[in-house]
Chain A
Amino acid sequence: MREKVIIAEKLTKRFGDFTAVDAISFDVNKGEIFGFLGANGAGKTTAMRMLSGLSLPTSGNATVAGFDVYRENEKIKRNIGYMSQKFSLYEDLTVRENIRFYAGIYGKSSSFIRDKTTAVLQRLHLTGEADKLVKSLPLGWKQKLAFSVAIFHEPRLVFLDEPTGGVDPVTRREFWQLIYEAAAEGITVFVTTHYMDEAEYCDRVSIMVDGRIDALDSPSVLKQQFGARSMDDVFLKLARKAQRTAD
C-alpha cells in the first residue's frame, strides 16, 4: 500500500446554517498529482483551507502529512506549501527578496537559500530579473515564481488554489511542467482548477458538487464511468446537478 499524505474522513465545515463542505472523505497518495475540481462555490477553497490549517473544521477528521488538523495544525504548516488564489508574493519586494523572506521564515539556512535561489532563478529564466520588484513582472511569471516560492522549503505536500487563473495557454503549459518536476522530486501536489485540460494532467481527480465529492478517480476511469469523451463532459454532467447558485 502506498503512503497516504492526506486522509480526510467526513470532513465538514459549516458557516452558521450553511454547510460549505459536507462530510467529504478521500485519500491522497504520496507523490500524486491530485486534481480537486468543482464549480465556483462548491467548497474547494474551504476544504483546502481546512487541510492547510487555516480554517478549523466543524466536524470530521483529517490528517495531513501524518498530523491531525485539529491539534497539530502548526506541525502541518512545517510540511506543506500553499499558493492561494490571491496573489501572495510581496509586490514591493524584489524576486530575490521574496524568495529569501519566505525561505527564511521556514527556517532554512543561509547557504541553502543562497544555493537554491540561484538554481530556481535559472530554472525560471529569471536570473536577469532577480533584483526587480515583483510588481514589474507579467502575471504568468509571477505565478511561476509564487509556485517556486511555495515549494522552496521542500515541503511534502503543496496546495495550489487555481494557480493558473488568468494565464495564457503557453504559460499554463510551462506551469504544469513545473508541477511535474515537483511531483518527480516526491512533492505531492493538491491542485484546484477550472481548466479541464489541466484535469487531464492529474493522476486522480475529485469533483465537488454542493460541498460533497460526487466523483473521484483517474481521468480515464471517470470518462469511462460517465460515458464522456473528455473531462469537460464529465464535469458538465456532474456540475449541472448543483443546487447552489455559483457566486
Chain B
Amino acid sequence: MRTLLFLLQKEFRQIFRDPSILRLIFIMPVIQLVMLPFAADYEIKNIQLAVTDNDHSAYSRLLVSKITASGYFKLSALPGTEKQALKVIEKDQADMVLFIPAGFEKNLVKEGEAPLMISTNAINGVKGGLGNSYLQQIIREFNQDIRAEWIQLPRFNPEVQLETTVSNWYNPHMNYKLFMVPGILVLLLTMVGANLTAINIVREKEIGTIEQINVTPVRKVHFILGKLIPFWILGILVFTLGLLIARVLYGITPVGSPLTIYVFAAVYLLAVLGLGLLISTYAHTQQQAMLISFFLMMIFILMGGLYTSIDSMPEWAKMITRFNPVTYFIEVIRMVVLKGSGLAEIRGHLVVISIFALILNAWAVLNYHKRS
C-alpha cells in the first residue's frame, strides 16, 4: 500500500511537470469540442447548382427561384447548353446541374406533365445523395404548389394526397449537435485514455527506468495501479471539462442524471486505460505504440456509431461493433443526454463494459513481465 503511494506521488509529479501532457489533456478537448461539432455537420449546405434553362418561361423561373430560396443551393452558373453544363461539373464549378428543357411550361400546362433532368457529381457521395433528395423534394413541393393553384376547389381534388407529419422524439428539432457533441466527447475520452497510458509506459521502457523498477521488489499490480489511477483521474477531469463545454457552448444539459453518465464513464475509463496498458506491453517504442493505437482508434471511431449508423451496417460489421467499447458509451451517453435513461436502462451496457475492463486489464497484467 505504501509502495503504491510512492508510485502515485512520482507519477503525479511527472504529469504536472510536463507541460505537453497538460496541454494535450486540456487544450485538445477544448479545441476539438469547439471545432468539430460545427464542421462535422450532417446537413449539406451551399450545394453549387448550375441551371440550364432552355424554356425561359414564367414557370421555369419560378422553379429556379424556389430552389435558390431554400438556402441549400447556390446558383453557380447558367450554362446555355447541356454540353456546357457538363463542362461546368468537370471543372468543379457545380455539384449538380438542373436541365429545364424547352417547352417545359407548355407541356406542363397542356399535357399536365413535363420532364426535368438532374445530373449530380457523385465524387462526394454524401453530398450528391443529399443534394439529389433535397432538390427532388423542392421540385415535388413546386409540383404541389402548381396543383393547388390550378385546382380552385380542393374538395374535388381528383388525386388522393397523402401528407405526413413527422415528429422527432427526444430531439424534436433534429439538432445534430445534440447527438454529435456527446459522441465526440466519448471519442476524446477514448483517445486521451488509451494514448496517454500506452505512451507513458512505453516511454519508461525507452528511457530504461522500467527496468530499474523491474529490478525492485515492486509488485506488478502496484506498478500498474500506479499508472492507472493518475490517468483515471485525468480522464474524469477531461470528461468533466467536456461536459461543461457542452453545457456552456451548446446548451446541452443531460435530460438524465449526470451521475448515471459518470458511473458509466468511470468503468469505461478503466476499460480504455486497460487497452492502453495492453498496447504498452506489446509495443517497444513510442512509435509502435502510436501506430497500434492509431489503427485501433480509426476502427473505433468509424465503427462506433458516431458518424455512421450501426443499424445500416452489414451483419458482419455489426458483429465487430459489438467488440468496440466506443459503441457502448456512445449509445449510453445519447440515451442519458437525450432520452433521460437511468441506471436501470443502461444496466446491460454497464455489464458489457465492465467485462471489457476486466478482460483488458487482466490481459495487460498477465502480459506484463518483470522478467523476460
Contacts and interface: CB of A to CB of B under 8 A. Distances in A.
B217 A106 contact: yes
Interface in B65-97: none
B6 A86 contact: no
B211 A102 contact: no
Contacts of A88: 208-209, 211-212
Interface stretch (B9-17, B52-60, B263-271, B324-332): B9-17
B3 interface: yes
A93 interface: yes
A16 to B, nearest CB: 14
B249 interface: no
Contact of B3 (A54, A80, A90, A105): A105
Contact of A93 (B10, B215, B370): B10
A52 B3 contact: no
A198 B357 CA distance: 52
A60 interface: no
A102 B217 CA distance: 11
B98 to A, nearest CB: 64
A219 interface: no
A104 B6 contact: yes
Contacts of B214: 54
B155 interface: no
A82 B2 contact: no
Given A93-B10, A101-B10, A54 B211 contact: yes
A78 B217 CA distance: 6
- Chain B interface residue bracket vs A: 20 to 34
Interface string B302-317: 0000000000000000
A73 B208 contact: no
Contacts of A97: 10, 13
Nearest to B226: A105
Contacts of B18: 92
A101 B5 CA distance: 10
Contact of B209 (A74, A82, A90, A104): A90
A100 B3 CA distance: 11
Nearest to B6: A104
A74 B211 CA distance: 14
B173 interface: no
Given A53-B371, A107-B2, A107-B3, A93 B218 contact: no
Contacts of A171: none
B14 A80 contact: no
Q: Give the most central of B208, B214, B215: most A CB within 10 Å.
A: B215
Interface in A54-79: 54-56, 73-74, 77-78
Interface string B9-31: 11001100110000000000000
Contacts of A91: 207
B161 interface: no
Nearest to B372: A55
A73 B217 CA distance: 9
Contacts of A80: 215
Nearest to B369: A56
Contacts of A54: 211, 214-215, 370-372
A52 B372 CA distance: 12
A18 to B, nearest CB: 15
A132 B2 CA distance: 25
B7 interface: yes
Q: Give the most central of B6, B209, B370: most A CB within 10 Å.
A: B6
- Chain A interface residue bracket vs B: 20 to 34
A56 B372 contact: yes
Contacts of A53: 215, 370-371
B216 interface: yes
Interface string B358-372: 000000000000111
Interface string B189-226: 00000000000000000011101111111100000000
Contact of A77 (B6, B208, B216): B216
Contacts of B207: 86-87, 91
A73 B211 contact: no
Contacts of A87: 207-208
A106 B5 CA distance: 12
Given A78-B217, A82-B215, A56 B209 contact: no
A152 to B, nearest CB: 11
Contacts of B208: 84, 86-88
Nearest to B211: A84
B275 to A, nearest CB: 25
Contact of B218 (A84, A89, A105): A105
B200 to A, nearest CB: 12
B371 A55 contact: yes
Nearest to B17: A92
A107 B10 contact: no
Interface in B206-256: 207-209, 211-218
A107 B370 CA distance: 18
Interface of B: 2-3, 5-7, 9-10, 13-14, 17-18, 207-209, 211-218, 370-372
25 contacts: A52-B215, A54-B211, A54-B371, A54-B372, A74-B217, A78-B217, A84-B208, A86-B207, A86-B211, A88-B209, A88-B212, A89-B209, A90-B209, A92-B14, A92-B18, A97-B10, A101-B6, A101-B10, A102-B212, A104-B3, A104-B5, A104-B6, A105-B213, A105-B216, A106-B216
Closest 9 CB pairs of A and B: A86-B208, A104-B6, A88-B212, A82-B215, A77-B217, A101-B10, A78-B217, A105-B218, A105-B3
